[in-house]
Chains A and B, each alone.
Chain A
Amino acid sequence: SQTIHQWPATLVQPVGSPLSLECTVEGTSNPNLYWYRQAAGRGLQLLFYSVGIGQISSEVPQNLSASRPQDRQFILSSKKLLLSDSGFYLCAWSVRRGGSGEQYFGPGTRLTVT
């Protein structure tokens, strides 16, 4: 069966510090991968998605970037965090071809920028 991991689970970082959040998927190959941010326990904002290694699409211009160095690894980064980067970050995957498109989410990372 497929599993998706995210770490760290929680993170407290000062303004201006760098960020690296990691997401890995097991039990599947060639997945689509997604990064979302959830603010205030409500709506989900799609930040980035990837359909393959090195292929990243950004949905919203911002202080963050994403990379996919391996097929099942997705990394969210920032060089200098802002207070507004605080939130709950969710990674998700879906089957690239042949599926009906449901996305499967990781457990999330709670980021607090102080």
Chain B
Amino acid sequence: AQSVAQPEDQVNVAEGNPLTVKCTYSVSGNPYLFWYVQYPNRGLQFLLKYITGDNLVKGSYGFEAEFNKSQTSFHLKKPSALVSDSALYFCAVRPPTSGTYKYIFGTGTRLKVLA
């Protein structure tokens, strides 16, 4: 079965330190990969995507993500965390045969950046 895993329910990091939020997937073929962020009582905001090409993709708010095909991972990173980055982060995968619907979402990772 196709799946997306975010193994950490919560990640704590000190302000100014680098952060990583992990995502691995089990999907056949070459999926499209996405990261979203959700602030309390708000909708999800698109951060970045990987379709093809360079394994390091850059997105909004200084975030980037590294695609690793052999490890089927797509980890979200930021060199220097801000308190305002505290939010819920979702990894999502669009299987290549899904058309333009049916993302598979991870269960989310809560990021807390401590001042």
Contacts and interface: CB of A to CB of B under 8 A. Distances in A.
Contact of A110 (B34, B41, B100, B103): B41
B41 A49 contact: no
Contact of B43 (A57, A102, A107): A107
B107 A101 contact: no
A21 interface: no
Nearest to B48: A102
Contacts, number: 59
Interface residues of A, number: 29
A76 interface: no
Interface residues of B, number: 22
A103 interface: yes
A74 interface: no
B42 interface: yes
B108 A43 contact: yes
B40 to A, nearest CB: 8
B103 A103 contact: yes
B17 interface: no
Interface of B: 32, 34, 36, 41-46, 49, 51, 88, 90, 94, 99-103, 105, 107-108
15 contacts: A32-B101, A42-B107, A43-B108, A46-B101, A46-B102, A49-B101, A51-B100, A57-B101, A95-B100, A99-B100, A100-B49, A102-B34, A103-B103, A107-B43, A108-B42
